[in-house]
Structure 1
Amino acid sequence: MKIFRQLIFIILIGFSTTYYAQKSDLGAWYMYFGNNKISKKLNFHNEIQYRNFDGIGDLEQLLIRTGIGYDLTENNNNVLLGYGFILSQPYVQGEKTENIEHRIFQQFITKQKFGRFNIQHRYRLEERFLQYDFRMRFRYYLGFNIPVTNKEMLPKTLYLSAYNEIFLHLDSPVFDRNRVYGALGFVINKNMRIEAGYMNQIQENKNRGQVQIGFYNNIPFTKN
């Protein structure tokens, strides 16, 4: 029963913050990330993000990403080729609009471990096919997972998560946005974990907060 109490505690943190978001300028993102082994070297990335202007109901963006990755070394140094579909519904002069973007991306992820610090570097290049434009963008992500109730990221472990990600255009203006994130997470088992946290985004000299609830699934499709 202890595992369920800890899991419910994390979810309640996210939903209580989301309730506050409905009364402020905060947005809310609900995210699913899958990274599933399909062979010893290959992995299948699958991702859905449902982003709202408020707690729920006022869609800001629906993002679906998928891709195939290859480990250059055992369970590390992963190169991936992927595709993303992005449906955005921003407000323009008070009116709800709709934009669709198709995106191809290439990325490299490398992981390091220092004591309790599990560190991830992600380098991503995106080719963005917008409705009336084409742009290329580079992203660098530096993330940390730090177990709290165990020395390792074992099942039933509470952990802290944080990242910073910068987005840069390959043309002018170069700076696109920056994201800073902090969260509390729970390792459900060796293949699943959940996080609830807060992300602040700087874009066009404006700060905007996002409540985030994320579920991570690494169940392999192969026994190897």
Structure 2
Amino acid sequence: MKILKSLAVSVFIFGTSMVQAQKNDLGAWYMYFGNNKISKKLNLHNEIQYRNFDAIGDLEQLLIRTGIGYDLTENNNNILLGYGFILSQPYLNGEKTENIEHRIFQQYITKQKFGRFNIQHRYRLEERFLEDDFRMRFRYLLGFNIPLNNKELTPKTFYASAYNEIFLHFDSPVFDRNRVYGALGYVINKNMRIEAGYMNQLQENKNRGQIQIGFYNNIPFTKN
């Protein structure tokens, strides 16, 4: 736990100092992800993301997602139907505004393993109900987790994490954004891990960085 606390504190201090130096050029996202088995095939997805324009206190977006998934094969090839509530507080002409989005999404996740490389492909379709608009979007994520001090992602293992995710609109312009992420993670036990890293987002020909701290909880709700 001391290693875990040191990792989180170090990244938080780094993020705070960077944000003070580059106001509104570097944000911070604090994220919780739950993926909990409710039967042999079914899982409950639950997620909260608290996104800031700076280290903390200047809310950019609060995102809450949940959904029910089903494994087509044992612990793999998961299809999921979900719902998301998104509260955004962007700046418009220097003034902070607020808007709410309701989102339905369908996704498919498949995992592969090559040596130490744990690979994930995620395909997600979103129906976005905005206050005065409706949009559809497709997302594809390719992610990697690579254990560093052990051969497998067993407890007390440090690992490198990376992903690239592209977002595409169903109307014009087709390209929405692209995210590139790199992080250092730590496996606390077989059901919990933490990651701290950096994500760069390209949107409307502008790059913006985000410090990210994520906690992952896979504690099953059933013994089966």
Query: Is the structural similarity TM-score above 0.5?
Result: yes
Matched, 1:38 2:38: yes
Distance, in Å, in 1 between the alignment partners of 2:162 and 2:5 is 21
Q: Which residue of 1 aligns with 2:109?
A: 109
Q: Out of 104-113 and 16-25, give the one that drifted further.
A: 16-25
Consecutive unaligned residues of structure 2, counting only runs of 5 or more, are none
Preserved contact between residue 21 and residue 54 of structure 1 (Cα < 8 Å): no
The DSSP-based 3-state class of the residue aligned with 1:20 is helix
Distance, in Å, in 1 between the alignment partners of 2:199 and 2:97 is 25
Q: Which residue of 2 aligns with 1:96?
A: 96
Q: Deviations over 1:25-45 (max 9, x none)?
A: 100000000000000000000
The DSSP-based 3-state class of the residue aligned with 2:6 is helix
Cα offset for 1:171?
0.6
The DSSP-based 3-state class of the residue aligned with 1:17 is helix
Consecutive unaligned residues of structure 1, counting only runs of 5 or more, are none
Matched, 1:125 2:125: yes
What residue identity is the alignment partner of 1:148?
L
Cα offset for 1:22?
2.6
Preserved contact between residue 13 and residue 196 of structure 1 (Cα < 8 Å): no
Cα offset for 1:172?
0.4
Cα offset for 1:20?
2.1
Distance, in Å, in 1 between the alignment partners of 2:38 and 2:116 is 29
Q: Which residue of 1 aligns with 2:148?
A: 148
Q: Deviations over 1:15-63 (max 9, x none)?
A: 1222123311100000000000000000000000000000000000000
Q: Which residue of 2 aligns with 1:215?
A: 215
Q: Which residue of 2 aligns with 1:160?
A: 160
Cα offset for 1:13?
2.8
TM-score of the superposed pair, with normalisation by structure 2? 0.97
Matched, 1:48 2:45: no
Distance, in Å, in 2 between the alignment partners of 1:193 and 1:136 is 32
Distance, in Å, in 2 between the alignment partners of 1:139 and 1:13 is 31
Distance, in Å, in 2 between the alignment partners of 1:95 and 1:209 is 22
Report the aligned-residue RMSD.
0.7
The DSSP-based 3-state class of the residue aligned with 1:22 is helix
Q: Which residue of 2 aligns with 1:11?
A: 8
Q: Which residue of 2 aligns with 1:139?
A: 139
Q: Deviations over 1:103-147 (max 9, x none)?
A: 000000000000000000000000000111000000000000000
Q: Quote the sequence identity (%).
A: 83
Distance, in Å, in 2 between the alignment partners of 1:59 and 1:5 is 29
Distance, in Å, in 1 between the alignment partners of 2:159 and 2:118 is 11
Equivalenced residues, count? 221
Q: Which residue of 2 aligns with 1:22?
A: 19
TM-score of the superposed pair, with normalisation by structure 1? 0.97
Distance, in Å, in 1 between the alignment partners of 2:32 and 2:151 is 26
Preserved contact between residue 138 and residue 167 of structure 1 (Cα < 8 Å): yes
Cα offset for 1:10?
1.5
